Amino acid sequence: MSTAKGTALVTGASSGIGAAYARRLAAEGWDTVLVARRAQRLDDLARGLRAETSTTVETVVADLSAPDDLARVAGRAAGEDIGFVLNNAGINGYGPFAALEPSLLRKVLDVNVLAVTALARAAVPGMLARGRGTLVNVASQLAFAGSLPPGPLPERAVYAGSKGYVVTFTRTLAAELSGSPLRVQVLCPGLTATEFHRSRGEDPVPGREPTVHEEGGTPVGEVIDASLAALDAGEVVCVPGLPRYAPVTSLERAELALRTASRPAR
């Protein structure tokens, strides 16, 4: 039986932030569409959600770097029941830029940039027409790492650049949609206790049981708590662990100064 809240589409749902966010949404009464590359992981999660919450759960096995798969997921994101989209799928492609395989570079951009944009574009028009909806795009604190050198940070030029796009895209879209009934957020977690660092992204981490990379990090539940609290507060940029919103406001002031720097003096 369909729930009253509608349906949430979650990409990268086979582990980590995606799986945990899907559990939280289902517990709150959302039906879910779970999207990822690993069919067994999706089936396990779906079985658990149905048993624990009695919600409707769909699974879509898809590689968002593949055009046909992305088109299938975009078609589902445009569905009339979709009220929440979590663009969480992402790969890191870490490595020195000069040595990064072009095929992996392309995959990072396809998943982290193109898929995020395409799925947002698929979902937003219907949400606007229905007068409600939530879009959460997952970026990274590395989007703000800029000129900080590797060590301890990874070699990350393409990954950080792709997540910088997600931050700018989401903030600019939120400004465009200001005054509409939609909630738009960019979620920028730091190191999180998931398996994200166990693969560069060419292939998913093997195995049916979720794991955690050796680096550890913030518990996933705390990241989701921060995201949901920020949505309730109407904050577009969510950086879990940031005690105050002041740094984001300072960033906005710095951007204004940069944009107005070339205006002729009066």
Whether 165 is catalytic = no
Report the alpha-carbon distance of residue 115 to residue 127 in Å, rounded: 18
**Tokens (6 digits) for 81:** 């029941």
**Any bridge partners for residue 10, and if so which?**
34, 86
**Amino acid (one-letter) located at 163:** K
3-state class of 44 per DSSP?
A: helix
- DSSP of 126-166: HHHHHT-EEEEEE--GGGG-TTPPBTTBPP-HHHHHHHHHH
Residue 18 and residue 64: Cα distance in Å, rounded? Answer: 14
How far apart CA 70 and CA 120 sit, in angstroms, is 12
Strand locations in 37-157 (E): 57-61, 82-87, 133-138
The count of other CB atoms within 10 Å of the CB of residue 203 is: 10
Q: Is 16 left (phi over 0), alpha (psi -120 to 50) or beta?
A: left
Determine the Cα–Cα distance for residues 258 and 266; give it in Å rounded to an integer: 17
Q: CA triplet 189, 174, 69: central angle to 5 degrees?
A: 70
Out of 21, 94, 159, 165, pick the active-site residue.
159
How many residues does this entry show for the chain? 266
**Contact by Cβ (8 Å): 49, 10:** no
Q: Which residues are catalytic?
A: 159
